Amino acid sequence: MYEESSRMPFVIRYPGKIKPKTINEDIITNIDFAPTLLDIANVKIPSSVQGKSFLRNLTSKNSKKWRQSMYYHYYEYPYYHHVQPHYGIRTERYKLIHFYYDIDQWELYDLQSDPNELNNLIDNEKYADIISILKSELYNLKDNYGNNLSLEELRFISDNDFGGLESNKGKK
């Protein structure tokens, strides 16, 4: 059976600071790259930057205070990714997703027992407490990142040619 990992490899080399063959499995996101590079360069990280430096995660074993989940959001539809607009939260074990554009659908996956995300557990009573905890954390993360838009406002972003792809066709 083919099993795809949901982890994305990231390779970094920093002689004298990061030991060779260091493996870190903390939840790192793309918004963490800029603060990390600034940290490496000893440049003060502006408070307006949403991500956090993960340099300490690579140079010490103590990353327990690091985030245990990540928030993500896909707005672009039908262009670019061609993915139904949705936002969600991912932990080491679970992924909770809310599709909102022209449907209102929640999905929950247990990535430990279902790494290919084939069995939606959202209606499984056994997971009701986990769903409640994840939804609470999801809304806290959305708030933390300043995404307090209503579903109507989020739909407006997708409906109005997110990124200007179609409206800029043929223009130079």
The confidence score (pLDDT) of residue 98 equals 96
d(CA 28, CA 36): 11
| DSSP E strands, the chain | 69-74, 86-91, 94-99, 105-110
Of the chain, the percentage scoring pLDDT greater than 70 comes to 84
Handedness of CA 145, 150, 151, 157 (dihedral sign): negative
147-161 mean pLDDT: 82
The structure tokens listed for 14 are 């920093």
**Which pTM value belongs to this model?**
0.77
User: How is residue 9 written in tokens?
Assistant: 């490899």
pLDDT of residue 22: 85
What are 59-73's pLDDT values in tens digits?
A: 886 666 888 899 988
- Contact criterion met (CB below 8 Å) for 87 and 98: yes
Give the Cα separation of 118 and 19 in Å (integer).
38
pLDDT in tens, 71-130: 988 877 776 667 888 999 999 999 999 999 888 999 999 999 999 999 999 999 999 999
Domains of the chain: 9-67 (no CATH), 69-164 (3.30.1120.10)
